[in-house]
Every structure is written in C-alpha cells, then in structure tokens.
C-alpha cells in the first residue's frame, strides 16, 4: 500500500461500510427521517413561477467535468437537473441548459430528453435548448450573461462546481429578476451564492439533494449512512484532539501511515 494512504484507505472502507449499512437499513424498510432542505423544496415553486410568468427556466450543471475531483458535483447537478426537467415538461415551460464541459453535453441532452419522454411531452423537447457555450471559463460566463439578458429566465438554477464566475452568474440572474437556487461544494464560492441567491445548497446538501429528490429509499439510506460516517469522523476528531492535548502521538502517527 502507498505510504501515507493506509489510514485514508481504512477510513474510506469504514465510510463505505456505513453507507452500505444505511442502504441496507432502508431496504429492510426501516424509516429514515431526513430534514427538509428549503432550496430543494423551492424547486417546484421556481418552475411554477416561470410558468406563470411565461418565461423560461435556466439550469447550469456547473463548470466541472465528469473525470476530475468535481465529478461528483456534476453528477449531483445532473440528477437535480433531471427533476427540474420533469417539472418543466409537466408545466410546459422551456428549459434552457447551458454547458461548459463538452463531455457533460450528451449526459444533459439524454437526461432532459428522457424526462420529457417520461412526461409524455417529447414534442415539447427542444434539442437546441441544451446548449454548449464554450469550454473556456469566462467565455462561458459571458455567453450565460447574454442568454440571461435576452431570454430573461424566471428561474435560475446554478448547481455543481463553480469558480470565479459564480458570483457573476448569480448576480446577472438577480438583475433579470430570476428566482435563484444555487448549490455547490466549492467552499470558496458558497458565500457568493448565499449572498446573491434566494436559496443555497451548501456543500453536502448538493449531494444529498440528488438522493432526496429521487425519493428512492436506497438513496435516502445512503444519506443516513453519510451522516453515520460524519459522526464517526467527528468522534475520531474529538479523540484525536483529546489524545494530542494529553501528549499522545498515536493519532498523528496513525495519520502519517
């Protein structure tokens, strides 16, 4: 095993174990109570608002790809996008999806098309509403500004990984009067989204959101397992703080293995 990664490996095994346990519990039918996430509950309101105003919905699954560290954020954003696409199809409101990473485009197209198909509105699906803009960060941002200014969406969803363009995208959405729901696990961008959006999914809420919206008990169980994993990590941290303050080097040696 690679030196310095032994502890990480076993911690990963424990975390995976806790999630599998959560899923097993859910499959056994043991009820799992998950707190309501305001941002996710507001999705229907946002799409409904767009329907009433006769304006489109804009959704971006972030600027991250599907093969780097941000991949999980992109997948979570695509899962939430599926839910938004279902609502848009049901409420007959155009959904504009803007894409930065070329490899995300086919996934987004398939997800939206399938949602329209499942809602029996395949004729309302407009392929050119799923738009690749540019794989360059600020060229993409500038193109989104243009779409916002011209098409004035009534709801703006910013989900996934964002960098320096996060605040600009949210501010432009605010300027056109869109109800904004943002979510990211990029911690440096969270304050910007909180400041400029109506609702914000902070860090893990983005990942939990996809499972929460699915309503699938197994996925909900994984959220329970995730929280169990967090409790284990918190206990390890507490034990580490106490042990280190008592002069023990056990935890620092363990982390270095």
Partner 1 sequence: MRRELPIAITFVLGVLIILAFFFDSPTLTNASQSLQNWAVIIAAFALGIASVNLIQVHAKKIARGQDRLDWLYSGALLLGLFGMTVIGLFKGPADQMYQFWFNALFTPGQATVYAMTGFYIASAAFRAFRIRNLEAGILLVSAALVMLGNVSVGEALWSKFPVIGSWLVNVPNLAAQRGMMIGAGIGGIAGGLRVLLGIEKSYLGSGS
Two tokens, residue 62: 């972030």
133 binds partner 1 (CB under 8 A): yes
Please report how close the Cβ of residue 197 comes to partner 1 at its closest, in angstroms.
10
176 binds partner 1 (CB under 8 A): no
Please report how close the Cβ of residue 24 comes to partner 1 at its closest, in angstroms.
12
28 binds partner 1 (CB under 8 A): no
CA distance 47 to 180: 11
CA distance 84 to 74: 15
Strand blocks (E) in the chain: 57-60, 95-99, 130-132, 155-159, 179-184, 199-202
82 binds partner 1 (CB under 8 A): yes
Over the window 8 to 27, marking each residue x when it contacts partner 1 by CB under 8 A and - when it does not, the resulting string is xx--x--xx--x---x----
Sequence-distant (6+) residues with CB within 8 A of 62 are: 70, 73, 74, 77, 100, 158, 159, 160, 161, 162, 184
Task: Classify residue 45 as exposed, middle or buried by CB count within 10 Å of its CB (0-12, 13-18, 19+).
Answer: middle
Cβ closer to partner 1: 136 or 247? Answer: 136
Two tokens, residue 72: 């999980």
39 binds partner 1 (CB under 8 A): no
Q: How many residues bind partner 1 (CB under 8 A)?
A: 87
Cβ closer to partner 1: 54 or 247? Answer: 54
Please report how close the Cβ of residue 240 comes to partner 1 at its closest, in angstroms.
13
Cβ closer to partner 1: 28 or 247? Answer: 28
Cβ closer to partner 1: 50 or 61? Answer: 61
Cβ closer to partner 1: 154 or 211? Answer: 211
Q: Is the dihedral of CA 209, 95, 157, 38 positive or negative?
A: negative
Sequence-distant (6+) residues with CB within 8 A of 36 are: none
Q: Phi/psi zone of residue 4: left (φ > 0), alpha (ψ -120 to 50 degrees), beta? A: left
Cβ closer to partner 1: 149 or 247? Answer: 149
Site for partner 1 in 206-245 (CB under 8 A): 206-208, 210-211, 213-216, 218-219, 222-223, 225-226, 229-230, 233-234
């Amino acid at each position: 095993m690679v030196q310095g990664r032994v502890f990480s490996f076993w911690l990963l095994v424990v975390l995976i174990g806790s999630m599998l346990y959560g899923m097993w519990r859910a499959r056994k039918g043991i009820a799992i109570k998950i707190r309501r996430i305001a941002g996710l509950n507001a999705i229907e309101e946002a799409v409904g608002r767009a329907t009433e105003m006769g304006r489109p919905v804009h959704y971006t699954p972030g600027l991250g790809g599907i093969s780097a560290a941000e991949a999980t954020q992109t997948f979570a954003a695509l899962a939430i996008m599926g839910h938004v696409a279902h609502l848009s199809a049901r409420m007959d409101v155009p959904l504009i999806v803007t894409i930065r990473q070329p490899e995300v485009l086919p996934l987004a197209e398939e997800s939206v098309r399938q949602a329209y198909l499942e809602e029996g509105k395949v004729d309302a699906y407009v392929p050119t509403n799923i738009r690749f803009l540019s794989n360059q960060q600020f060229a993409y941002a500038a193109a989104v500004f243009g779409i916002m200014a011209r098409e004035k969406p009534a709801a703006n969803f910013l989900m996934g990984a964002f960098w320096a363009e996060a605040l600009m995208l949210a501010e432009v959405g605010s300027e056109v009067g869109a109800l904004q729901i943002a979510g990211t696990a990029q911690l440096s961008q969270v304050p910007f989204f909180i400041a400029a959006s109506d609702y914000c999914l902070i860090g893990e809420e983005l990942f939990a959101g996809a499972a929460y919206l699915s309503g699938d008990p197994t996925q909900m169980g994984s959220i329970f397992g995730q929280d169990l994993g967090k409790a284990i990590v918190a206990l390890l941290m507490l034990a580490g703080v106490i042990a280190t303050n008592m002069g023990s080097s056990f935890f620092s040696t363990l982390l270095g293995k």
